Structure 1
Amino acid sequence: MSLQEYWGVVERVVSSRNRRPVRYSYFEDVWRAVDEGHRLVVVRAPTGCGKTEAATAPFISDAAKGSRRWVSLVYALPTRSLASAMLRRLSRSLAAAGAEWTTATLSYGGLWEARPYLEGDVAVTTYDTLLHQFYGVVSPGYHLLLPAAKVSGSLVVLDETHLLQDAHWYAPSLLPAHVASLVSLGAQVLVVGATVPEVLLEELRREYRLVSRGEEPAVVDAADEPARGRLDVELRGGGMPVEGLCSLLEGAPRPALVVVNKVEKAVEAYRALRSCLGGSVALLHSRLRGGVRARVEGLFEGDGAPGDLVLVATQVVEAGLDLDVRFLVTEVSPVDSLIQRLGRCARRSDGHAVVFLDEEAARNVYPRELVERTLGVVDAQSLAESVRRLSVARELVDGVYAAEVVERLRKGWERALSEVKGWALRFPRSLLHKEAHREPGPLLRLGYEVACYLPGSAGEYEALLGGGETAVSLERLRDYTVRLSVEGRGEAPAAVVHEVGGREVVVALEYKRVDGGLALRGRRMEPRAFPRAVESGELFLLNPAFYLSEGGDELGVVRPWRSRSA
């Protein structure tokens, strides 16, 4: 294929967003690797360096010409919100390139949609949905092999891998085996990221060699520096003072971003800034209802955020959102996460970042050893350079994620990891056996996500609590769904527990399609039945007392585990 054709696609796509196209040299390295047929390509490039365009240009170019080398493009991301944003982005890219007849779908295991199971020429999905469908753990009826057949001839892009990291290095430990299984069945895989540590790259190499008869994956490390403004970084000891944020932001350039590690502190910071800055402050975290999140995320699409905006957020801003702020205030986090946060600043104009180095701010959020090692390797200059130069980012990341550190993180999980890895690697040889489609353990994540419906009125809440039925549109259900991410598979969070007649119950919501939407009906169960209901993919009734609002501002579920009286 012609590299100039790919450049033509990139220029049309980027120009359609009112941006100036930049010809990064690493793009051509990626395209050559893809065109030469490398089954695994690992791409590492700084934030804001066009990785999405580099990864998708070959497929979009084919689509625009009406030719087809791959069955489809499957684009996987760690979260639903990132997948939704990427669908919008790729749909606009297809239209800009003249491939408007190419179909793009979103598949992330939703409760209420007719699940497309990776249908379409472009299928945007989450890692979890991709793997569960690929292995046939979740399937369209009895068609266990249909998703695998679709993926096997596709170009699969695995993006934002750093968001998979967890306290036990569980998901990153399993990713190489899943990649090897995808490649074994014929997929061409691109692993794309700004902060892929060497320890993960080496494990990708090792698993790939086993299924490719000793061949090496293509690894593209960008030498380009992104076309961005200058970033100055200031390090401060101690914790981020919520009461001092107003003075810190007074006179600071806008738009501005404040990133904290915990939802509870994000709400405190939002309250403080609203009191002094008024309506120019927005809040974004994972436990807001879907409609509010979409509205806030929408502020950053198109021509960018309002010039006077101050966004208070948690880790959800580390990827996906096309943020360009001029002033950043953040708590410390592991170095790869910190680089992603800094990458949101000074993308198109100069910016300034303040990093508070209080280790306690990361307690119970990130592994202590990763934060300690981060504090030991960072300085203001290296952090400022890390968003421009991949070599600096790699040195910082590899200084934290050393092989011995990773081994300590996954200590105690070796047996579980070995079982899932072995099952994944055997899958291509045993996929015709029904037993091969039975999940041996968590395929990627140790925790689970609870989908909860926030009733719109006291009457609706009482009806569902009493086992009654209520009709909702699909749009309303999406807008009023709150997702709670919970580690482990233990007791029900207090936010889904209700008191009825002096006893505690959890309410699962059964749903059926009716004209114009869905009919929901509440079904009570004992809290001890909650873990099994979660595994079955139930939708739950959220206790509205836990969803906070103040003066018309929605704050979301702030303390899902604490009782209302706490």
Structure 2
Amino acid sequence: MLEICARLGLSSGEMARLGVLWGKSAEKGGGTMSLLLCHMLDTAAVAEFMFDRFLAPATRDMLDRVSGGRGRRFFAWLCGMHDCGKATPAFQRKSGAEAAALAGVGLGWRAAIVTAEVSRQWSHDKAGAFLLRQALKASGRWERRHVDWVCPMVSGHHGTLRGATMKDIAHAQGDAHGKTAEWRRVQELVVEVFTAALGFESLADAQPVAVPARAEQLGLLGMVVMADWIASDSTRFPGVPDLAQVSLAGARRRAAAAWEERRLGGGLRRLRPTDGCDVIELRFGHGARASQALAVDVVRAMKVPGLVFLEAPMGEGKTKTALAAAEVVAERFGLSGVFVGMPTQATADPMFTQVRAWAAAADPGSEDDVVLLHGKRAFNPEWKAIQAGDWSTADARFRAVQEDAPDACCVSRQGPADWFLGPKRGLLAHLTVGTIDQLLYAATRTRHVMLRTAGLSGKVVILDEVHACDVYMSQFLKEALHWLGQARVPVLLLSATLPPGQRAELASAYMSGATGTTDETELPVPGGYPNVTAVWPGMPAPVVVHAPTWREDLPVRVKVVPEPPVRRGKSASDRDQEQPVIDLLTRELAEGGVALVIRNTVKRAQRTYRELAAAFPGERVILHGQLTTSARADRTEHLLDQLGPSAAPRPERLILVATQVAEQSFDIDADLIVTDIAPIDLLLQRIGRVHRHTATKRPGHLRRPTVYVTALGSRSDLPPTFERGAEYIYGRHLLLRTAATVVEAEKSGGWAIPSQVPRLVSAVYGADEVVPDGWADAAEQAREEWAAEQERRRQAAAPFLLSRPGERVLPHLDGLHYAATDASTEDHLAATVRDGDMSIEVVLVLQDPDGYRTLDGRRLGPGGAPPSDALGSLAGDMMRLPQRLTSTAIDHLAPLPGWSEHAWLRRTRALVLDTARTAHVGDYVLTYDPETGLTYTPAA
């Protein structure tokens, strides 16, 4: 560094001042202070390793395009420059031990003015943006457009991008920023010397040649944060207090050691071209079905990254199609990973196994990098085995998926790098599987959102079951698609079927980012099913094609099961309410068989389950969200063993009573289904569980699939009445239109599934009249109410979206966080993107006169302190409370005193049950039954 200073003609006094500016205090530098230039060079060196071994080829190409072919050096410069604002009194005052040395070389300040409060107001990220802006303008060559997009790379590296204020300008002109000539000069030198150390002839020489898209800027900022966080690890980057010992070569040596120790590279680095190959057969061991081959052909024809819809019936193999298509897209466009977003944590778990198996076949060794992203991953057996180094469980699950994949390699022995398992870092891993929430969070105006954008850059994004997004969630999905389109991230959307309007809205959102226009994307209605729809910039017209399904249509009979009317002031008894279903199942299952009963609410499912006890003792099981983690997981696994694709032996007679948890990504096969009314697309999803597997042997009278629809009472001349839970959840508009199609199907003999699925969904979600004349007035009123509610929910999402109205046309990021949301934890974020009150998780604990114990009877220590062999039981005894109980739980529940020493327990509330498994919490009485789950009633 001294050589560079001499080459630049610095005086001894100027070098002395550079030699006292600190970047990491002794406390944060491993016991030794680290000079500011040292930390900046450390960060730049980390950025070089990121460029070489971490960034996707597409991201490197973007940096080369922006910088005029100097992408690696420019990226290192961007990352290292992040802390230049530490060259101010407001920051330097924070280490009292260094104040004397600073004053001794003429860098003092008035302590009465530069206070701790001023330091908080004039943080070094803000100061750095002002400092860099002044330096770039002074260089004489930097254009305004480049100054405007580069400076937020400094101002936003602490996670927020706020616009400048008059107070900021005042600080930049005052003591906090350093208004003496000595301070102004040393600030210039920090920028100048660092720039020269990276090999630029001058600061003017570092100017880029193009402005990246706004989404690309946000991704770059996320990479700046990543480089800073890695270089801030004092155990791998200890302090260097002597300017003579500071050099880029030394920083590179430190970064190399840290990089190898952290194992931060990886991803899909060795993908082979698959042109002319059957990728499905290559990866999964069987020839591609017509719909799978069609989808792969479509993505092979794409000229640039775009958006692809894969719509196919349940069991068609959409997951394999998406992974094969993702491999083709990644190889063609220089991408290094995937993000697979699933609707729930439960559906993400099996996808984790499938993605690892696919990755092992596509790029042997990359399965090490797959990260499972959801709050319950610690309880996933395969993830747990990988983290613990117990490969017996992981190997079995992994090989079960791999057994038909001829190119699969041996099972890895490392797992993903630990660094990616920290807070907010998960999406940065190259291969990630989680809930769709992880993507939706990237569309919120929250702190460190740039890390999520960076994590999605250079990937193929796959989202499954997108039809499950309601109008509120869809606002975040559309916002995310806009940014992904602008970032040139290809997206594959999977669904059994989508309403035409929703498909067009999602396509328009993506193309608005990809093309920079606000024109609506018009999509032709697919002419058949399964089908593939694709859009990308520059294409003459959307691609909309279809293929025959691999299986014949199921002729599904549709029947309505009327329920007893509920009169004002008087309700039918539980037995009377359930008697029609009891009679139905008694008749239909007289010779055996498996029935799936889906209710819209937990309370209704519990009632059905209880009332079936007398007629079907020992032949029924219940599954819903108000069971403990272990109970739900055990039941799900057992049901998949009994009713899954390789089930043997199948129960002679069984009734599964479930809520919407059985609606999607649940590969079980029932002989008949009884389901509450739901909007047509969801109703068809439920029907996908009947006669799902062709090899299943069934009782003779159940060989024709039948769906019985409940929760509505109907007469053709009067509009139907709906069960209150159904109407509360789904609204009357779609239920009326769905009910009309159900009644018509009962008259006509049923539906042909899957060929009629698109027509049915289009009819219910379309504008044409589908209800009988006698329902018309009620239907119109319901439509108006529904439209008003949809608009209300759209407006409710707007304050949390990443872009504010009119902001998308801005060329830079300054002011992005004009009003950041308060969401901080995963629970808060989930509530933000799902339009609900925050729900919380609790651990259920029993208390008796002798103290606390787990639900399975393991005794806990004083204050509930868990012995090591009880931690697993406590983890399994967790559950998420209904949203209605959230505020009550926050006010009345807390961790047990003995949990203070345990990382996850000390942040988790305990629901303490007495020996009758009951607790009084605020105005509610809660009871947990191991068989039926949690119930709650108002306290007397």
Shorter-normalised TM range? 0.7 to 0.9
CA 1:558–1:228: 2 relative to 1, 3 Å = farther
- Paired residue secondary structure (1:157): strand
CA 1:221–1:365: 2 relative to 1, 3 Å = farther
- Say if 1:510 and 1:520, in contact at 8 Å, map to a contact too: no
Q: Hey, what's the Cα distance between the residues in 2 that align with 1:484 and 1:400?
A: 39
CA 1:547–1:511: 2 relative to 1, 3 Å = same
Q: Which has the larger radius of gyration?
A: 2
- Say if 2:624 and 2:659, in contact at 8 Å, map to a contact too: yes
- Say if 1:134 and 1:151, in contact at 8 Å, map to a contact too: no
| TM-score normalised over the length of structure 1 | 0.78
Q: Hey, what's the Cα distance between the residues in 2 that align with 1:304 and 1:424?
A: 51
How far residue 375 of structure 1 moved from its aligned partner, in angstroms, is 0.9
What does residue 905 of structure 2 align with? 520
User: Is residue 451 from structure 1 mapped to residue 716 from structure 2 by the alignment?
Assistant: no
Q: Hey, what's the Cα distance between the residues in 1 that align with 2:338 and 2:591?
A: 42
Determine which of 684, 691, 710 is the counterpart of 1:356.
Answer: 710
Determine which of 888, 892, 906 is the counterpart of 1:505.
Answer: 892
User: Is residue 176 from structure 1 mapped to residue 478 from structure 2 by the alignment?
Assistant: yes
Structure 1: gaps (5+ residues): 16-20, 498-503, 522-537
Task: Give CA-to-partner distance per residue, 1:320-340, whole Å, 9 cap, x none.
Answer: 111222211112111111010
Q: Hey, what's the Cα distance between the residues in 1 that align with 2:664 and 2:290?
A: 21
When structure 1 is superposed on structure 2, of 386-395 and 199-208 the one drifting more is 386-395
- Say if 1:290 and 1:481, in contact at 8 Å, map to a contact too: yes
What does residue 156 of structure 1 align with? 461
What does residue 821 of structure 2 align with? 439
- Say if 1:154 and 1:188, in contact at 8 Å, map to a contact too: yes
- Say if 1:75 and 1:158, in contact at 8 Å, map to a contact too: yes
Q: Which amino acid aligns with 2:467?
A: H
Q: Write out aligned runs for 1:65-144 (5 A).
A: 69-94=334-359, 99=364, 101-102=366-367, 103-109=369-375, 115=423, 117-118=426-427, 120-132=429-441, 137=446
User: Is residue 297 from structure 1 mapped to residue 636 from structure 2 by the alignment?
Assistant: yes
Q: Write out aligned runs for 1:37-52 (5 A).
A: 37-52=304-319
- Paired residue secondary structure (1:507): coil
- Say if 1:325 and 1:345, in contact at 8 Å, map to a contact too: yes
- Paired residue secondary structure (1:292): helix
- Say if 1:226 and 1:388, in contact at 8 Å, map to a contact too: no
Q: Which amino acid aligns with 2:478?
A: P
How far residue 31 of structure 1 moved from its aligned partner, in angstroms, is 4.5
Q: Hey, what's the Cα distance between the residues in 1 that align with 2:281 and 2:656?
A: 35
Count of aligned residue pairs for this structure pair? 516
- Paired residue secondary structure (1:277): coil
How far residue 344 of structure 1 moved from its aligned partner, in angstroms, is 1.1
What does residue 624 of structure 2 align with? 285
CA 1:205–1:333: 2 relative to 1, 3 Å = same
- Say if 2:554 and 2:754, in contact at 8 Å, map to a contact too: no
Q: Which amino acid aligns with 1:435?
A: H
What does residue 761 of structure 2 align with? 394
Q: Hey, what's the Cα distance between the residues in 2 that align with 1:234 and 1:69?
A: 49
What does residue 879 of structure 2 align with? 482
How far residue 58 of structure 1 moved from its aligned partner, in angstroms, is 3.3
What does residue 275 of structure 2 align with? 2
Q: Hey, what's the Cα distance between the residues in 1 that align with 2:835 and 2:505?
A: 20
| TM-score normalised over the length of structure 2 | 0.49
CA RMSD of aligned residues (A): 3.9
How far residue 38 of structure 1 moved from its aligned partner, in angstroms, is 3.7
- Paired residue secondary structure (1:410): helix
- Paired residue secondary structure (1:322): coil
- Paired residue secondary structure (1:247): helix
Task: Give CA-to-partner distance per residue, 1:34-92, whole Å, 9 cap, x none.
Answer: 662342112222222211111111345799xx999422110112221121232233334
Q: Which amino acid aligns with 1:507?
A: A
User: Is residue 28 from structure 1 mapped to residue 294 from structure 2 by the alignment?
Assistant: yes
User: Is residue 263 from structure 1 mapped to residue 609 from structure 2 by the alignment?
Assistant: no
- Say if 2:485 and 2:512, in contact at 8 Å, map to a contact too: no
How far residue 409 of structure 1 moved from its aligned partner, in angstroms, is 3.0
User: Is residue 247 from structure 1 mapped to residue 622 from structure 2 by the alignment?
Assistant: no
How far residue 159 of structure 1 moved from its aligned partner, in angstroms, is 1.3
What does residue 752 of structure 2 align with? 385
Q: Hey, what's the Cα distance between the residues in 1 that align with 2:628 and 2:356?
A: 25
Q: Hey, what's the Cα distance between the residues in 1 that align with 2:612 and 2:793?
A: 42
Determine which of 908, 919, 932 is the counterpart of 1:539.
Answer: 908
What does residue 563 of structure 1 align with? 938
CA 1:348–1:10: 2 relative to 1, 3 Å = farther
Q: Hey, what's the Cα distance between the residues in 2 that align with 1:84 and 1:486?
A: 24
Structure 2: gaps (5+ residues): 1-273, 379-420, 522-534, 536-541, 564-577, 695-702, 713-720, 770-782, 824-830, 919-925
When structure 1 is superposed on structure 2, of 409-418 and 45-54 the one drifting more is 409-418
Q: Hey, what's the Cα distance between the residues in 2 that align with 1:468 and 1:150?
A: 39
When structure 1 is superposed on structure 2, of 50-59 and 240-249 the one drifting more is 240-249
- Say if 1:370 and 1:400, in contact at 8 Å, map to a contact too: no
How far residue 343 of structure 1 moved from its aligned partner, in angstroms, is 0.9
Q: Hey, what's the Cα distance between the residues in 1 that align with 2:439 and 2:802?
A: 19
- Paired residue secondary structure (2:841): strand
User: Is residue 347 from structure 1 mapped to residue 675 from structure 2 by the alignment?
Assistant: no
Q: Which amino acid aligns with 1:78?
A: P
CA 1:389–1:11: 2 relative to 1, 3 Å = farther
Task: Report which of the two has the higher share of helix.
Answer: 2
